[in-house]
Amino acid sequence: MKVLVTGANGFIGRNLVAHLKENQEIEVLSFTRNETMTDLKALVNQADKIVHLAGVNRPVDEKEFTEGNQELTSRLVEYALHSEKKPSIVLSSSIQADLDNAYGRSKSAAEKEVIQYSQDAKVNSYIFRLPNVFGKWCRPNYNSAVATFCNNIANDLEINVHDPSIKVTLTYIDDVIEAIINVLFNDVEEKKPQAIFVDVPFTYTKTLQEIVDLLQSFKAMRDDLQLPDYSDFFIKKLYTTYLSYIKESKFSYPLTKHEDDRGWLSELIKSPYMGQMFVSTTKPGITRGNHYHHTKVEKFIVIQGRGMIRFRHIERHDVLEYEVLGENVTVVDIPPGYTHSIENIGSTEMITLFWVNEQFDTQKPDTYTNEVMK
């Protein structure tokens, strides 16, 4: 199937093309502002489906709204109507199409062109009235507050929020792409072909201040190691978006390294919802631990070297032993009420990954010294 994407090098277009190219059954035809109307006509004649994303939203002159939204769509449907294939059209419109402003009127007019085309060509077409879309590859300092905030906060640039209480309705780029691909591959059979208005599956309404606060917490994560609350889908999608604006030279960052005669230890991540993770090295012959917890639980994973994890119930004297090898990648659970230790019994440095179900609290550490081997 040949799918023509207009506006293929724009924000939504780039993401859609990337997804479509992952399907070997699809040949992507691209139309950008670098092509002519003659090019567009030739591309339409080849297309089985058209996703019309090209448009104008930040013109120098308001008449460009009409030219870039209504008139371009008019030419597109004219070419499609005279093509042999009569391709179905998926139109990217806007929630502003109901508003009485130059942009809204031009989007509403583009919708009417597609509606008329469906009637004349007797094919289904699909219209998405999109709210503000956020995600990777959106141009900052242009027409997206989220892209601007992400870019500027990630790269230590100033942000200006004139009214933090303003609410914006948002949808995530991958949800938009999934919805578009769904209608491309699942064209509904109607007794009377028509233009169908389609909603994106998820939208979020947030104030500008809420967005900024979250983004600043993401930036602080490199210092406080606090993971976002991924159970909130908006936070998960916003964090993913934020990371896409970090400069390539700043993808990595150092961790604090605590060293002593036993080796070193570094905390990796923390969260009030999942506890924390840290990694340590242990020199040959050295033992770590010899303590127990009442509520806190842990997982030990030796990823390099050879270790012996020992347990003893605090009310008993018998000792349990679990030998662990880096090449086997075995997880050992540390239940409450068992004093435990881990000893490097190999000849090389041992590296261990630890997970604990709560963050360390100096006021309530729930850690009690007790030798396993008495």
Catalytic residues: 103
Whether 127 contacts 198, CB under 8 Å? yes
CA distances from 247 to 15, 147, 316 (A): 19, 14, 56
Measured CA to CA, the distance from residue 136 to residue 91 in angstroms comes to: 21
CA 26 to chain centroid: 25
3-class DSSP state for residue 30? strand
Q: How many CB atoms lie within 10 A of CB 365?
A: 11
The token pair that represents 249 in the structure block = 């030279």
Q: Cβ neighbours of residue 78 under 8 Å, at least 6 residues apart?
A: none
Whether 334 contacts 291, CB under 8 Å? no
Among 43, 12, 33, 247, which residue's Cα sits nearest to residue 135?
A: 12
CA 350 to chain centroid: 35
Whether 177 contacts 51, CB under 8 Å? no
